[in-house]
A and B are shown apart, each in its own frame.
Chain A
Amino acid sequence: MLGNMFEGFAWDLVWQFRATFLLGFLHTLETSVLAILLGLSLGLTFGLMSTCGKKWLVGIARVYVEFIQNTPLLLQVCFLYYALSFSGHGIGILATGIVSIGVYHGAYMAEVFRAGIGSIPKGQFESAESQGFGYFGVMRYVILPQCTKIILPPMANQIVNLIKNTSVLYIIGGSDLISLTYSFVTGVNTGGAYGPAYLICGLLFFGMCYPLSTLAGIWERNLKKRDQLSGALKE
């Protein structure tokens, strides 16, 4: 019962193969970090494009965001992986995963940046320009620093989702935490220790995501409190 949760041999097996779990954990971490970097740069680029006011740039950003947000990540991963490998240009499972997860969450991060930039009053843009700042100067020194507080909570939630979404690599045969856990519990020599193995896998994910989502919750509450305070002051 309970997948040998309380059997000594199952825990022994997990302990014996602890390197497998560590390896999976490191692969998930590596995929996440690189995908976050890609997602942030895409998000910033497309977020700026959709707030710049030039119609065709806004259009391109909209198409990117809508198309990526309305199709499953799993489909995008499979599409990229099979399209590249059937045309003989395979870039490997890890790189495929990083690119597709980065592009997928880039679309969400673009919306976060767009909402953040959109929340800054128009006067800020105008007065910054009147001080002689160019477009990038305005963004870099005046607008983006003011957005940070608004952007941080949803961004942290996006990063949590991104870490959880590294599990899509399983379908193309990845070696991330979920995939290695699954091959561990179904392996010929290691099979059977379902309970302990899934528990360890879940705990590792929880350990990565819980601090981030808690932080996001605290930031969000603080932001709301400040809004209420300033709203009360205005009244």
Chain B
Amino acid sequence: MDEWIASFHILTLGPVASYIAKGTLFTVIVSTVAVLLSIVIGSVLALVRNYATAPQYRLFHFLAAAYIEVFRNTPLLLWIFIGVVFCPVPEFFGHPLFGLSSVETKMLFKASIALTLFTSSVVAEIIRGGLNSIPRGQFETAYTQGFGTIKTMVYIILPQAYRNVVPTLLSQIITTIKDSSFMANVATIELMSRVRKILSTANRFSGQDTINVSDVFVLYGTAAIIYFIINFSLSVAVRRMQAKRGAA
């Protein structure tokens, strides 16, 4: 019983609580930014893969398809490892920032790039699904109204495609929040890695001689509850949206 009280005591310590809270914030921000950037990259990839089929654009079509397939069929962790070795870091991220050391901000940048590249392949396929659901007539009508290819895409096709895939993109944020935990393998920035780090020295905070199984339950339990609250509220929002659309 004493062990459990000591374990819960860890959470009441101010620095520990704010360390975990900041980790949660990093998780949410990194995932949201990654998904937003992925929508930009993914849209370009999806458009090129879907519509650059004329012989003179064959190369771009092939490159977009290759990008999507390569990232979709290899694990995120591989890309994080590759990013750690190969990704150049701009000057801005070479300094201590957001309460992280300069080593950590560099890692944050590299791992976020890897996460974004990985996520954009998934988002590209989601947007492609949205593009494919648009009837051919929309293109033809736009052309007869004098729209060029680019204007047709930007003003007619893409807005409708985005509208169709908003729920799927929202649930992609859930997936990305979970995927961001893979950063725990290379740096202690987001929620998962911070909880893991606290656990490795839990006896110092709990005042016990050893790290006990109660520490594992309390710390990972807390992290699980935080992840669950964020992701479950998002998935409830997604379901509401889909139900509304189904009814409409």
Question: Residues of A at under 8 Å CB distance from B?
Answer: 2-3, 66-67, 69-75, 78-79, 82-83, 86-87, 160, 164-168, 170-171, 178, 181-182, 185, 194, 198, 201-202, 205-206, 209-210, 213
| A72 contact from B75, B81, B178, B212, Cβ within 8 A | B178
**Which residues of chain B are within 8 angstroms of A166 by Cβ–Cβ distance?**
75
Question: Residues of B at under 8 Å CB distance from A?
Answer: 69-70, 72-78, 81-82, 85-86, 174, 177-179, 181-182, 184-185, 192, 196, 199, 211-213, 215-217, 220, 223-224, 227-228, 231-232, 235
Please report the number of residue pairs spanning A and B whose Cβ atoms sit closer than 8 angstroms.
110
* CB within 8 Å for A160 and B192 given contacts A70-B228, A74-B184, A205-B78: no
* CB within 8 Å for A202 and B78 given contacts A2-B86, A82-B216: yes
Contact across chains for A205 and B85 when beta carbons are under 8 A apart: no
**Which residues of chain A are within 8 angstroms of B216 by Cβ–Cβ distance?**
79, 82-83, 86
| A82 contact from B70, B74, B174, B199, Cβ within 8 A | B199
**Which residues of chain A are within 8 angstroms of B192 by Cβ–Cβ distance?**
72, 74-75, 78
Please measure, in the bound complex, the distance between the C-alpha atom of A210 and the C-alpha atom of B68, giving whole angstroms: 11
**Which residues of chain A are within 8 angstroms of B69 by Cβ–Cβ distance?**
210, 213
Contact across chains for B78 and A75 when beta carbons are under 8 A apart: no
**Which residues of chain A are within 8 angstroms of B75 by Cβ–Cβ distance?**
164-167, 178, 205
Q: How far is the CB of B245 from chain A (nearest CB, A)?
A: 17
Q: How far is the CB of B210 from chain A (nearest CB, A)?
A: 9
Contact across chains for A83 and B178 when beta carbons are under 8 A apart: no
Contact across chains for B213 and A87 when beta carbons are under 8 A apart: yes
Contact across chains for B73 and A167 when beta carbons are under 8 A apart: no
**Which residues of chain B are within 8 angstroms of A165 by Cβ–Cβ distance?**
75
Which residue in chain B gives the minimum CB-CB distance to A212?
A: B73
Q: How far is the CB of B193 from chain A (nearest CB, A)?
A: 9
**Which residues of chain A are within 8 angstroms of B211 by Cβ–Cβ distance?**
86
Please measure, in the bound complex, the distance between the C-alpha atom of A57 and the C-alpha atom of B7, giving whole angstroms: 34
Please measure, in the bound complex, the distance between the C-alpha atom of A165 and the C-alpha atom of B78, giving whole angstroms: 11
Which residue in chain A gives the minimum CB-CB distance to B233?
A: A70
Please measure, in the bound complex, the distance between the C-alpha atom of A67 and the C-alpha atom of B87, giving whole angstroms: 35
* CB within 8 Å for A83 and B78 given contacts A75-B223, A171-B185: no
**Which residues of chain B are within 8 angstroms of A71 by Cβ–Cβ distance?**
178, 224, 227-228, 231
Contact across chains for B184 and A83 when beta carbons are under 8 A apart: no
**Which residues of chain A are within 8 angstroms of B232 by Cβ–Cβ distance?**
66, 70
User: Given contacts A66-B232, A165-B75, A167-B75, could you give 10 more A-B pairs where the C-beta distance is less than 8 Å?
Assistant: A67-B228, A69-B231, A164-B74, A164-B76, A167-B182, A170-B185, A178-B75, A198-B82, A206-B74, A213-B73
**Which residues of chain A are within 8 angstroms of B212 by Cβ–Cβ distance?**
86
**Which residues of chain B are within 8 angstroms of A213 by Cβ–Cβ distance?**
69, 72-73
Contact across chains for B174 and A83 when beta carbons are under 8 A apart: no
Contact across chains for B178 and A209 when beta carbons are under 8 A apart: no
